[in-house]
């Protein structure tokens, strides 16, 4: 990794010299992180948070949210195929079950399995930005934010607009998506739709993914507002190698429905939001696609939740409080009839001590009908050393209850364990962030000490996988990130944005003699991500993304992706993308051989 450190050092030196002659404000300073209670600007956060903005979404060489997240530092995306047909998301060496997905602050946990966490029914055109919180998030979002959380945020438009995008590419791939905004007085509304299809990049890897998303909101008066959404996604795909290599004709069909309504009261120094939401997930799985009678599973899960979140500003600072109640039901021919109730209470305080020091502390207390009360305290401290430099540290406790698949699944290659205990972890983080003009730099060190880690294991290849609790496992790591956004110049060739990050993770899990583990020793070890966005003339943009990825006990690989846009912000634009330009041979999840070099191209229509 010497070359990596040399690259990073050189980039830091060069970017620092550019920063000295450019003192324009950085957009990151103005972004307010969308937590459910305390709203704190990014520049004042005492946590490691990455933000993917709307322009970055639009210029990324990606066809799905999953592919976009693959370019976020410290995030490990394990795709089974392309364009997000199914993918697992891990943060800081955590598994897919240990990351909490949210949509506008609404939890998308699935009681059946974490494999369905990324079934987010929102076309990428409708996403305004993505916030990735790394480290323990239980105090902020509740249980299952074990190693971090990803909050996908949409925004209601004030003006009428219509965006249409269509593309086609290798493997018989083609897709169409649109999003439209039609405000009517004080009532705002968005409607979005997308569909992606492909014949697949290898045997039995065809797919069809459809999303529809509607969101509306109205300001009743100066203090009261209502907001609601309804969304649906349908995914059907050949699942060759997804869960086992013994049956290449696996097939799966998943439908997810999400509905939510919320009321907000805001007056002077008091804020209160109440909401209810419902999530339904239907999963049909076949071990042999055309022989459902051979082996077939049907799982239907329903999650119902009520939440109350508020904040109050006083001479003592900002006080955040909240409550939640959630019911999770499952009807499955394999896992049985299951239900559980979860309740929680949030309380936290943010205060400043002088002009430079701020402190935030709180606790989330959660009740599970299977395990009783659990408490997750945490605290953060930030010191504004200079106008540009912020030093911070935080610590907290995280928790994850087993999924129903962990507990009760019975299959040819996997068997659940009803005696599993919940996972718990203690987290510590110390870091520094530099925001000056258009330059952003951050360095972080973290430690996560895990008790009762849930890991699928087996004594030999002839025995089915079964989850076990490993007593103590420690993770530690270093994260370095740097980005620079240039002021738009008048030259023919200009650099608009440059990004570079490096992440290192160490895990001390030692396999028991004669025991093989599935996930823990395939966690991310070394990750380098780089990006360069060039402007050519006034209308042409060329974005290059590179990734170097090494997972524990696996061979490293290098990926290079590119996208070219012409007239992206105009009424009619065209684009072309290429993935895995180096034609790398690699596997991210299961035994799915990822595709070599592949291309797609399309057009965009923007009307107001």
Tell me: pLDDT of 294 over 50: yes
Q: How confident is the model at residue 370 (pLDDT cuts 50, 70, 90)?
A: confident
Task: Parse the chain into domains and list their residue ranges.
Answer: 2-607
**Which residues 6+ apart lie within 8 Å of 463 measured at CB?**
none
For 581-592, letters b (16+ CB in 10 Å) and e give beeeebbbbbeb
How long, in residues, is the chain?
608
Tell me: pLDDT of 161 over 60: yes
Specify the DSSP element, H or E, that contains 408.
Answer: helix 404-408
One-character DSSP codes across 212-255: EEEEEEEE-SSSEEEEEEEEEEEEEEE-TTSS-SS-TT-EEEEE
Q: How confident is the model at residue 3 (pLDDT cuts 50, 70, 90)?
A: very low
Q: Phi, psi (5° rounding) for residue 432? A: -145, 140
Q: Poorest-confidence range of 209-213, 364-368, 521-525, 540-544?
A: 521-525
Confidence (pLDDT) at 87: 87
Q: Do 449 and 507 contact (CB within 8 A), yes or no?
A: no
What is the rounded CA–CA span in Å between residue 172 and residue 174?
7
Which two tokens mark 513?
């003699």
Contacts by residues 542-551 (CB-CB < 8 Å, ≥ 24 positions apart): 543/59, 543/60, 543/61, 545/60, 545/61, 545/71, 547/70, 547/71, 548/4, 549/524, 550/524, 550/525, 550/526, 551/76, 551/522, 551/523, 551/524, 551/525
Q: Do 358 and 382 contact (CB within 8 A), yes or no?
A: yes
Tell me: pLDDT of 11 over 60: no
Confidence (pLDDT) at 357: 97
Tell me: pLDDT of 322 over 60: yes
What is the rounded CA–CA span in Å between residue 57 and residue 453?
34
Q: List the beta bridge partners of residue 236.
A: 208, 253
- pLDDT tens-digit series, residues 204-255: 999 999 999 999 999 999 999 999 999 999 999 999 988 888 899 999 999 9
Which two tokens mark 103?
């949509």
Q: Do 226 and 263 contact (CB within 8 A), yes or no?
A: yes
Higher pLDDT, 284 or 462: 284
What is the rounded CA–CA span in Å between residue 85 and residue 126?
18
Q: Phi, psi (5° rounding) for residue 3? A: -60, -35
What is the rounded CA–CA span in Å between residue 582 and residue 559?
7
Which two tokens mark 208?
């069809």
Tell me: pLDDT of 188 over 80: yes
Q: Are strands 127-134 and 439-458 parallel, antiparallel or unpaired?
A: unpaired
Q: Do 504 and 465 contact (CB within 8 A), yes or no?
A: no
Q: List the beta bridge partners of residue 191.
A: 180, 214
What is the rounded CA–CA span in Å between residue 383 and residue 362?
19
- Beta strand segments in 539-593, E: 540-551, 557-566, 572-579
Q: How confident is the model at residue 455 (pLDDT cuts 50, 70, 90)?
A: confident
What is the rounded CA–CA span in Å between residue 404 and residue 330?
8
How far apart, in Å, do the first and last CA atoms of the chain sit? 49
Considering the domain 2-607 in this protein, what is its CATH number?
A: 2.40.170.20
Q: Measuring CA to CA, how many Å separate 163 from each of 87, 410, 538, 586? A: 27, 46, 21, 35
Q: Measuring CA to CA, how many Å separate 92 from each of 300, 323, 375, 479, 511? A: 31, 28, 23, 10, 20
- Degrees, nearest 5: CA angle 362-397-49: 80
Q: Phi, psi (5° rounding) for residue 470? A: -95, 130
Question: Percent of the chain having pLDDT more than 90?
Answer: 71
- pLDDT tens-digit series, residues 189-200: 999 999 999 999
Q: Phi, psi (5° rounding) for residue 148? A: 160, 180
- The two most distant CA atoms of the chain are separated, in Å, by 70
Q: Measured on CA atoms in the order 535, 540, 543, 544, is the torsion positive or negative?
A: negative
Helix (H, G, I), strand (E, B) or coil at 11: helix
Tell me: pLDDT of 457 over 70: yes
Q: List the beta bridge partners of residue 241.
A: none
Tell me: pLDDT of 24 over 50: no
- pLDDT tens-digit series, residues 93-132: 888 889 999 999 999 988 898 888 888 889 999 999 999 9
Tell me: pLDDT of 6 over 60: no
Mean pLDDT in residue range 46-75? 94
Average pLDDT, the chain: 90
Tell me: pLDDT of 451 over 90: no
DSSP at 60:
S
pTM for this entry: 0.91
């Amino acid at each position: 990794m010497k070359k990596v450190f040399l690259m990073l050092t050189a980039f830091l030196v060069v970017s620092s010299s550019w920063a000295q002659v450019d003192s324009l404000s950085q957009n990151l300073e103005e972004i307010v992180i969308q937590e459910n209670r305390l709203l704190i600007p990014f520049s004042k956060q005492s946590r490691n948070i990455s933000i993917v903005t709307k322009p970055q979404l639009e210029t990324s060489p990606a066809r799905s949210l999953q592919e976009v997240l693959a370019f976020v530092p410290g995030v490990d995306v394990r795709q089974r195929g392309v364009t997000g047909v199914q993918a697992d998301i891990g943060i800081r060496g955590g598994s897919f079950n240990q990351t909490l997905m949210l949509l506008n602050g609404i939890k998308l946990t699935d009681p059946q399995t974490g494999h369905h966490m990324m079934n987010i029914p929102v076309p990428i055109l409708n996403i305004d930005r993505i916030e990735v919180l790394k480290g323990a998030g239980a105090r902020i979002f509740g249980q299952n934010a074990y190693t971090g959380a990803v909050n996908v945020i949409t925004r209601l438009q004030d003006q009428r607009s219509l965006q249409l995008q269509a593309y086609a590419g290798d493997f018989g791939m083609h897709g169409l998506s649109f999003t439209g905004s039609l405000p009517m007085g004080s009532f705002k509304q968005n409607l979005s739709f997308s569909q992606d299809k492909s014949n697949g990049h290898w045997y039995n890897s065809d797919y069809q993914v459809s999303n529809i998303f509607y969101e509306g909101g109205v300001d009743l008066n100066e203090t009261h507002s209502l907001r609601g959404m309804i969304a649906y996604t349908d995914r059907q795909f050949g699942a060759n190698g997804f869960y086992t290599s013994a049956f290449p004709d696996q097939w799966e069909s998943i439908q997810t429905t999400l509905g939510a309504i919320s009321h907000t009261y805001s007056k002077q120094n008091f804020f209160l939001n109440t909401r209810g939401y419902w999530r339904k997930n239907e999963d049909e799985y076949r071990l042999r696609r055309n022989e459902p009678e051979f082996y077939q599973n049907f799982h239907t899960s329903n999650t119902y939740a009520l939440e109350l979140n508020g904040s109050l500003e006083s001479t003592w600072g900002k006080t955040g409080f909240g409550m939640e109640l959630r019911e999770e039901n499952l009807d499955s021919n394999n896992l049985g009839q299951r239900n559980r109730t979860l309740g929680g209470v949030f309380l936290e305080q943010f205060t400043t001590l002088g002009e430079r020091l701020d402190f935030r502390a709180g606790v989330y207390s959660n009740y599970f009908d299977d395990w009783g009360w659990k408490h997750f305290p945490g605290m953060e401290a930030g010191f504004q050393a200079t106008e540009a430099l912020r030093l911070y540290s935080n610590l907290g406790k995280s928790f994850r209850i087993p999924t129903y698949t962990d507990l009760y699944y019975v299959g040819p290659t996997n068997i659940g364990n009803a005696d599993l205990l919940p996972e718990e972890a203690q987290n510590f983080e110390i870091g520094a962030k530099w925001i000056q003009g258009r330059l952003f730099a951050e360095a972080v060190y973290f430690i996560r000490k895990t008790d009762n880690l849930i890991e699928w294991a087996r004594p030999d290849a002839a025995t089915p996988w079964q989850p076990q609790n490993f007593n103590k496992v420690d993770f530690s790591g270093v994260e370095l990130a740097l980005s620079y956004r240039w002021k738009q110049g008048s030259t023919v060739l200009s650099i608009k944005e440059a990004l570079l990050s490096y992440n290192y993770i160490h895990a001390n899990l030692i396999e028991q003699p004669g025991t093989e583990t599935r996930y823990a020793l395939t966690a991310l070890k070394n990750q380098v991500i780089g990006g360069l966005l060039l402007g050519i003339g006034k209308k042409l943009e060329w974005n290059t993304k590179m990734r170097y990825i090494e997972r524990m006990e696996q061979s490293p690989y290098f990926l290079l992706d590119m996208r070219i846009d012409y007239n992206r912000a105009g009424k009619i634009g065209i684009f072309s993308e290429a993935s895995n330009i180096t034609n790398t041979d690699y596997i991210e999840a299961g035994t799915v051989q990822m595709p070599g070099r592949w291309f797609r191209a399309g057009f965009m229509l923007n009307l107001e």
